[in-house]
Structure formats: structure tokens, C-alpha cells
Chains A and B, each alone.
Chain A
Amino acid sequence: MDDDHVNILVVLNYQIPLITFFLWKKAALRVCADGGANQLYDCIPHFYPHEDPTRIRTKFKPDLIKGDLDSLRPEVKAFYQGLGTCVLDASYDQDTTDLHKCVSHVLNDNVLSDCKPNQMRILVVGALGGRLDHEFGNLNILYSFPNSRIILINDESMVFLLSKEFIHRIHINRVNEGPYCGLIPLGNQAKSTTTTGLRWNLEGQSMEFGGLISVCNQLQSDDVTVMSDTDLIWTVTIDKVKGWLKESIATTEL
């Protein structure tokens, strides 16, 4: 997370993973998609039980709340607006999800001066688990913005798209990532995929639902390369971070 890219955190309306509070500190902009603000408001005092709830909620104030706002509770809206959070009602658009609205806004509406979309890394928490239709809708966002760096992340897994346009070199931090990983042809059959750095590499094999998909694979190297004729979902486990996350959150000065 510490490189030239600018991190933008998006919080969705599902259980907030512990890693949210680590990512919060790394983010230049913090956005809640509709009821993600409720989740933040409700959960943050539990992560810091010895702190005054109002004080800690103020410390973790989102910059923006956007969506159709059918989930955002009135008292949560009032609290954050009172602190200066921008609340944007996009209920006129019933064709896209709240996450789609937030990602589109971040990429297209000049949210950070001197930061172009290709410098951004959008980290999304609360996208995995919960309602299955929501989970697929969130994965669809990766396909809808294939030229953007968008990562879905929770305390167990990290997921992002590998666009078919590129040969990908994924640098693995093996302290935190792995050992398990997968390559999933979610949208289309992959006629030919080639990898290096995995325990079970692919050498031009085809992958499809109803046939082979690469699951329960394992990292064997610090660098994994992937080349395919179709967009693929890359998933890797990150549950190793739980070990130091709690301590990091507890000892961080607020």
C-alpha cells in the first residue's frame, strides 16, 4: 500500500473487517457507500472500546457518503454532516449500485486535486460475504472499470481484476499474502491462460465454469505472472495479517 499510488477507501454496507482501520490510515480519501456509513458509525466504538464513542467516531469521519441513500440512517447522516462530511444523494440513478456510484465519482469527478485516475488505487471493504447477489454485483464493478486499480478486501482475502490486455506481474508480499490463491474466469471462458510462480501453473490451458478453474492454488514465488485471453479474477488469502492487525490498531495513536 506504500508506493506512488494514492489510496482511496470505500466502505460498503456490510460487516466492517478489521483491516478497514489499517487501510483508513493509508487512504487519502475515505468514502462510504450509503449504509457503509451506518456500519462505520456502529462498529468503530467496538474496535476502540476504551474510547468515548463520539470522540472515536469523529476521528474516523468519512470525507464523503454517496449512494441512493435508502439505507443511511438519519442520525448517522446528521452526525457526519455536522462534522463536515459531504453527503451526495444519487437516488435519481436506479440503474447502478452504490459502489458503482462511488467508484465512478472517485474516478471522474476530480475528488482529489493533482491526482489522476491512473494514480488511484481504490480499496473496497465490506464487498465480500453477506448477500450473494451483492457479492456478484461488487465483483462486476471490477469488470465495469477494467482500467482502474480496484481491490476488494476483507480480513481473509484480497481480490482484483487481471485485464486481458496486459501480461501481469503480481508482486507478492509473502509475509502477509497467501499461501492460497485462485484465478477465476468469471465473465467468459478463458481459452488460453499461462502463469508462472504458482504451485500449479497453467500453460495455455483453457478455464471455464463447468470445467477447470484455478482454485486452491498456492503461491510459490514472490512474483506471479499471468497472461490470458480473457479478464480474470485474481484472489489471494491474506488472513496472516490478523496476527498483527489487532495489535497495530490497539497501539496506534489516535
Chain B
Amino acid sequence: MGNIHEVGNGHMKLLVLGGLSGRLDHVFANVNTLYLFPKVQMVLLNDENMAFLLPRGYKHEIRIDSSLEGPHCGLIPLGEPSSCTTTTGLKWNLTNSSMKFGGLISTSNRPVADHITVQSDTDLIWTVTLHSLQSRLKEQMSSADWTPI
């Protein structure tokens, strides 16, 4: 998933499991945590989805591992409208586009390149679906060597 190999290089990435399912107020509380700690690399995960924050003001480069990620993705202006968002690498790219709840938000989009770029005047939530995860996990779990502690 993405650049998990950086964990060994002094970059910490927080992977949060179980934060995207269940009670809706809990889901929003967990998503809010991404906004409360914008400098921490934190990813919310479940079997179907991965979500993380793209803080405003940066040009983000997102690497897509197509063996696991996709085919669907979205960019969500949560908590504040965006006047100007630009992307590359998506089926429906945005070009200085505005997004807001009550208007356009980018859902059911698709990554069509290995690298996506996103630049926005506001914090955005990037979400991408995960495929084949369940079958790969089941395969790994059934072949894992469980050593008793």
C-alpha cells in the first residue's frame, strides 16, 4: 500500500483499522482525527476503503498500487468548500474547479495513472477503494505460521 516501506526509514505512518465502519458519528470522529493531526501520516483503513488527508497548500503526489488500490476514488472537501482544486491522473480531472457539499464533490472517480497529483486551496479527504484485499488476506492468514507467544 503506497509507500509503507518508508516505515523503516524513520517515517512513521499510522494505520488505523476499524475507523470507517459502524456508527456514523464514530466514523466522523475518526475522520476528524485526520484533520486534528494534519502533520501525521495517518491512514484510515477497512477491507474496502483507504482514506487520508491531503492538507491544503501542497502539491500532493499519490502513488497508486493498482494490485490493491482502485478502481474507484474520490476527493471530498470535508468541512470547508474548495474554490480551486486541480488534479492529474484521474479519469475526471479537476482544473481549478470548485467543490462543496451541496454542489460538486468528486466521487466515483478513477485513477488512470500510477501517480495522481492533487493541489487544492483547502484540506481534502482522498479516498480509494481496495480490491482483492479480502481474498489476499484470507490466503495469507491460512498459510501463516502462528508461533505461540
Q: Contact: A133 with B28, CB < 8 Å?
A: no
Q: A49 CA to B35 CA in the complex, in Å? A: 46
Q: Does A36 contact B (CB under 8 A)?
A: no
Interface SS of B by simple majority: mixed
Chain A residue at minimal CB-CB distance from B25: A182
How many residues on chain A are close to B (CB under 8 Å)?
A: 38
Q: Cβ of A83: which chain B residues have Cβ within 8 Å of it?
A: none
Interface residues on B, range: 35 or more
Q: Contact: A137 with B108, CB < 8 Å?
A: yes
Q: A231 CA to B123 CA in the complex, in Å? A: 19
Instruction: Flag the segment in A3-11, A139-147, A191-199 that touches B.
Output: A139-147
Q: A28 CA to B45 CA in the complex, in Å? A: 39
B115, chain A: closest CB distance, angstroms: 20
**Do A213 and B23 contact each other (CB < 8 Å), given the known contacts A97-B107, A132-B127, A143-B102?**
no
Q: Cβ of A210: which chain B residues have Cβ within 8 Å of it?
A: 32, 35-36, 38, 79, 123
**Do A130 and B48 contact each other (CB < 8 Å), given the known contacts A144-B102, A159-B24, A180-B25?**
yes
Chain B residue at minimal CB-CB distance from A186: B101
Q: Contact: B105 with A137, CB < 8 Å?
A: yes
Partner of A136, one of B26, B81, B107: B107
Q: Contact: B127 with A189, CB < 8 Å?
A: no
Determine which residue in B20, B24, B35, B80 has the highest number of CB atoms from chain A within 10 A of its CB, and name it. Answer: B24
